[in-house]
Structure 1
């Protein structure tokens, strides 16, 4: 598996929340070869299934959300500029001058505009520009824009990726599509005949606007256990321990009152035995991830939460370390073998 190539291809897909279907054929082409079956439900979740061949096998549910933050067109000015609102929790500080793609009747490139700082007074410079005050310029007149860009059109970041020294990759959509890479890498090396579970890998929709879509998949599959993977905050100069994780320190293992303690303890012990670095971090109550929904859905599912450390969340340059993706893949393999390895020889 060429991790860098697959990472940029997967994260480069257009999957702005609510419009995940845009590149679904490309998504399927990238992920399906690692699995035996593929299903798609009415709320936009893609379920990829790997069978162990055992009748009445247990069901392991692995979740990664594949939607990403973006913008939506809500109006057009007399000058042809697009008024926008947020889809998901975008970091508004980084939007001015960002390159974006407008997915209208034609795919158009645009630039996010704001009042130049040289024209601002002191109070304006101190104020954080709100998203509704930003405009997107696509170079069209009002009449041209109205013809090509209906109200409600989604806008996403340009899929441009930069490799930094030290094997870091920066670009859009790492939250949360980068977490699919460890799952695919793990499935590629697991011998399913040695397991007593089928793996249901959900690339779930609409996480960035409320977490609820994943429940549809859980109710249908009714898993015996669940592993959720999402990005977590990597330690940056402005960050602090113990809330943030070290980049290249291995996957985050979340400790929370919501999550299954025995399963979580097993994950940490498995990492120690396999000498795989991991980083236990406390989210005492809710985790802000799909784990919050899965743990209660369909009568309840024992759930653990793993995280990949990430810099610059909800920007066009979300950054991950390839080492952390590799550590996470190794830990997934070890967890699955430990929990679901066949005991019948």
Structure 2
């Protein structure tokens, strides 16, 4: 592939629109529509399932099926309790970080549209410095300017309304993409770009390619568990994010060393099929695509696990995008890594042969 940037104006406009749209776990469909609209020129057909996973398919009649996958959902909060004086207490929808909540503006999603609120917090002047209390899930609260529970109800807010952050996409220092929900809206973006490149470069694959954007990863890989049983793939290449461990307060002896800008991260784990992983690393080496490695104990914690252990076993691998500040509103990835993940998946697909079993016994 050419060394010039593969992210063009159209793809960047799609990325910004896709990220700026809220798609909390269980409520991903508007984001899926944006994703499918962008992907439509590059695939033959789509399938969707009951819970909202979406799949663009190239060569749908082929018997041998390869999945490339990301997940569509983002972490959020639920309204859990409304006090008599109109304050809203929350529970997590996914792995939302309570420590970043105080002073954040929020969008409360109601049938009447978005209602704004803020996570309040006692002023520094009023806190007892001898026993300062840290933010906890049970003590953070949202103030939407109401004095009573009835006022809150009149805004259309009730227990079960989902809550997201409004932070939008921007770029720092030309190459660092920053937004909430890069985990893992970037995955959906990157696999869509792979489909675009296959189309623009007029590549014909000897198998069916299932570009899969799964829902509900953040609460236990549930969307992938469902869609893999619908597709019944032979191979799955999953992409998600992983931690850049070079920022303060991260112990590299525990977390390993991964750095933004140094390339995709190829996972070593029991769920990762070793012959498929070797094909990926060899592809990277042959095409001078920089990459990093990570070792994951037991489970990968990504949709890789759901695909690998489905349908009697699916040859699966994980290519991760390094990311700083996961599950905050300022998640950060590097443009070069984004492009290199796209290139690595693209080139790997061109090396997969129809009918390949990746068997350890041949």
The offset of 1:164, in angstroms, is 0.6
Cα distance change on mapping 1:124 and 1:266 into 2, 3 Å: same
Q: CA–CA distance in 1 between the matches of 2:157 and 2:256?
A: 42
Counterpart in the other structure of 1:235: 245
Q: How far has the Cα of 1:276 moved from its partner?
A: 0.3
> Which runs of structure 2 are paired with 1:90-239 in the superposition (5 Å)?
90-105=96-111, 106-125=113-132, 127-141=133-147, 142-147=149-154, 148-190=156-198, 194-238=204-248, 239=250
| Aligned-partner Cα distance in 2 for 1:124–1:319 | 34
Return the offset for 1:140.
3.0
Equivalent in the alignment of 1:29: 37
Q: Counterparts of 2:63 and 2:178 in 1: how far apart (Å)?
A: 39
Distance in 2 of aligned mates of 1:326 and 1:305? 16
> CA offset at residue 103 of structure 1?
0.4
Q: Is the 8 A contact 1:80 1:140 kept in 2?
A: yes
Q: Distance in 2 between matches of 1:68 and 1:75?
A: 22
Q: Which of these residues, 242, 255, 262, is aligned with residue 249 of structure 1? A: 262
Identify if the C-alpha distance between structure 1 residues 123 and 221 changes in structure 2 by more than 3 Å, giving closer, same or farther. farther
Which deviates more from structure 2 when the two are superposed, residues 222-231 or residues 107-116?
107-116
2:22 corresponds, among 14, 28, 50, to 14
RMSD: 2.1
Decide which of 297, 300, 305 is 1:292's aligned counterpart.
305
Shift of the 254–330 alpha-carbon distance from structure 1 to 2, 3 Å rule, reads same
Residue 83 of structure 2 is aligned to residue 77 of structure 1: yes
Match of residue 4 from structure 2: none
User: How far apart are 1:166 and its partner, in Å?
Assistant: 4.2
Out of 64, 67, 78, which is 1:61 matched to?
Answer: 67
Instruction: Give the count of matched residue pairs.
Output: 340
Segment drifting more, 248-257 vs 138-147: 138-147
Moved more, 222-231 or 1-10: 1-10
In 2, are the aligned partners of 1:51 and 1:192 still within 8 Å (CA)? no
Deviation at 1:75, TM superposition (A): 1.6
TM-score (norm 2): 0.88
Question: What TM-score do the two structures reach when normalised by structure 1?
Answer: 0.92
Consecutive unaligned residues of structure 1, counting only runs of 5 or more, are none
Partners of 1:195 and 1:342 within 8 A in 2: no
Distance in 2 (CA, whole Å) between partners of 1:122 and 1:202 is 50
